[in-house]
Chain A
Amino acid sequence: MDDKHWLERPATIAKLWRGGWVLLAILILAEFTYHPHAYFVLDGWFAFHAVFGLLSCIAMVLFAKLLGVYLKRGEEYYDRD
């Protein structure tokens, strides 16, 4: 018997990933169910919001990582003399 919390079991985590992928696929396919109303050109593209959300977040994480190279300091930085 696995004494881990059900959310921690590898089988559950694998199921969550599978469920997640299915959900993402449904969200993209949902675009066929309504008539999109675009305000600009770009946001009328198919699955624009999905791609834009994914790419902008990856970009932000990488930018933060880069900035961290220069701006991160130890926790005691301001207490040291």
Chain B
Amino acid sequence: MIEAVHFPPALILFAGAFLLPFLHGTPRHVVALAAPLLTLWAVWGVPDGVALSVPFLEYQLQVVEGDRLSRLFATIFSIMAFTGTLFSLRQGSRLELPAAFVYAGGAVGVTFAGDLISMFIFWELMAVASTAVIWANGGQTAYRASMRYILMHLFGGVVLMAGILGVVAQTGSIEFGAMRTDSLATWLILIGFLVNAGAPPFSAWLPDAYPEASWSGTVFLSAFTTKTAVYVLLRGFPGAEVLIPIGSYMIFYGIIYALLENDMRRILSYSIINQVGFMVVGIGIGTELTLNGAAAHAFTHIIYKALLLMSAGSVLLMSGGVRRCTDLGGLFKTMPYTATMGIIGALAISSFPFTSGFISKSMIAQGAADQHMFWVWMGLAAASAGVFLHAGIKYPWYVFFQKDSGLRLKEPPLSMKLSMGLFAFLCIGLGLNPEPLYAILPYPVDYVPYTTGHVVTMLQLLLFSGLAFFIMLPYMKRTLTITLDFDWLYRKLFKLAARDAADRTAAAHTAAFEDADKRLAQLINRIFRAHGPHGILARTWPTGSMVLWAAALLALSLVVYY
């Protein structure tokens, strides 16, 4: 048994982030890979209950408070930080990895935060650090996307802060526990959480920003923000029924938008929202089985989504930036390893039997059935088929098969292959033997995923969805387009409105100046008429008239004095 840890495990990642800029070559690699592993060790050393309490103003912050739920999420965040680091060892940007460490540290910090204030601090740290991860890609496109991204997250942060202040004012307690959606303050907290989860109408920031990060940056981004949101929803709002329709919307939004999308990493970004939707529904149903399911699904999702994005990142790196499905295809011939990894990730996200997605997502659907929620269950079943459609087949098909694009890409370097291999191993390993994961879930697990009926019905659902894909293939021809979303409001309508306001201001400004000009000109004209070279007051008076006037005056004085 390791000794109890009484410091925030996130500190190890922060320390790593501060060390990395001073290191080069092998020492840098060693520190980069060791920090997440040390964090994982520290995570499992955090005891149940408050481990670190710090006074702040008149409050006592519970900076480190452990329980099963926090350890589960901190575990997967640490594993993700390690594998993401391994994948990004060849990344040229020296900003990205330190930023990713702060970002991952923020996520680990949130999971151990026992009070609302510490949670908020780590939460905002993540927003800033993840923005830096996007910046690290360089270029105007990434910069502008990162600005839209941080504006949305700062907005979410302000809403969350307002909610926290309200709760503290009402209850006097900063304790972060289960809340009820019965006051404006708790609603604001819920909205703040949901912004980060990618819930409507705040979904567009995710597919807008994530694909603009580098080939390795997107892998980090996919893991932490949305899953931290799932964690805080699990802790703060288990059983909040409003989450069921919100999650269902996210599930179908993800599918439909991914079907319309052409950019390979944006397809996978939409499918993050789809997958988080399953978790949000599970939290909304709120039984022990579905809460376990949501937590387990977050765990397995981080792994297979990272695997999918690593295979996409490999294609992106080796092709020098080809990102559209219309330009890709036929890569399986020269990249068989990367293609296999992508397919394993695709099978896992589709919750194919014997992959990790099967043993986690099915808990949520089972929970809906147990609660006799017919429509929710039908929706989840249709969506499961839809996941196979939009990610399970679509992604590998368009990137690795489809047609011969003429690209002959080499396999990525060893470190990237290793990181993909590790996560592919976990996808299949957890699918074959879910017990190690079930053992660390928040509630005791009394669920058997592998029954003949379950395997057969799931395979029917998935393979007939696959049949639908190939039948409908002519209807899914990729186009060089993007799809409008709620971000149209702030990227187009508000911009047009602002431009219109600016135009009107400019016009009014010009008119006012023209008017002033005219008046000034009139004034000058008037003065000119009097004082100008021909003005009455500037006229040279002829000598004759002076003599005449002098004579007149003399004559006058003569008359007067005579």
Contact = CB atoms under 8 A, between A and B. Distances in A.
Interface of A: 5, 7-8, 20, 23-24, 27-28, 30-31, 33-37, 39-40, 42-43, 47-54, 56-58, 60-65, 67-68, 71-75, 77-78
Contacts of B463: 20, 23-24, 27, 50, 53
Given A61-B389, A61-B475, A74-B480, A53 B452 contact: no
B467 A72 contact: no
Contacts of B333: 5
Given A58-B471, A61-B389, A34 B456 contact: yes
Contact of B483 (A28, A31, A35, A72): A72
Given A53-B461, A60-B259, A60-B389, 20 more contacts: A7-B332, A20-B463, A24-B464, A27-B456, A31-B456, A40-B372, A40-B377, A49-B457, A52-B381, A52-B382, A54-B464, A56-B465, A57-B472, A58-B468, A61-B259, A61-B475, A68-B260, A68-B483, A74-B480, A78-B491
B256 interface: yes
A34 B138 CA distance: 57
B399 to A, nearest CB: 15
Given A20-B467, A58-B471, A72-B479, A34 B453 contact: yes
Given A50-B460, A71-B483, A56 B385 contact: yes
- Name the residue among A24, A35, A51, A56 with the largest chain B CB count within 10 angstroms: A56
Interface of A is mostly: helix
Contacts of B260: 64, 67-68, 71-72
A38 to B, nearest CB: 9
Interface in B442-458: 452-453, 456-458
A80 to B, nearest CB: 10
A39 B377 contact: yes
B374 A72 contact: no
A72 B465 CA distance: 25
B457 to A, nearest CB: 4
B98 interface: no
- Name the residue among B456, B458, B471, B480 with the largest chain A CB count within 10 angstroms: B456
Contacts of B337: none
B460 A49 contact: yes
Contacts of A54: 464-465, 467-468
B259 A53 contact: no
A57 B479 contact: no
Contacts of A33: 452
Interface residues of B, number: 48
B462 interface: yes
Contacts of B464: 24, 49-51, 53-54, 57
- Name the residue among B369, B461, B471 with the largest chain A CB count within 10 angstroms: B461
Contacts of B462: 53
30 contacts: A20-B463, A24-B463, A24-B464, A24-B467, A30-B452, A34-B452, A36-B453, A39-B369, A48-B457, A49-B461, A50-B461, A51-B464, A53-B385, A53-B461, A54-B467, A56-B382, A56-B385, A56-B386, A57-B389, A62-B475, A67-B256, A71-B483, A72-B260, A72-B482, A72-B483, A72-B484, A74-B480, A74-B482, A75-B481, A78-B491
B459 interface: yes
B121 to A, nearest CB: 34
Nearest to A52: B381
Contacts of A78: 482, 491-492
A53 B453 contact: no
A64 B482 contact: no
Interface string B355-389: 00000000000000110101001100110011001
Closest 10 CB pairs of A and B: A57-B468, A56-B382, A53-B464, A39-B369, A53-B461, A64-B259, A49-B460, A53-B385, A54-B464, A50-B460
B469 interface: yes
Contact of A27 (B252, B370, B460, B483): B460
B194 interface: no
B476 A61 contact: yes
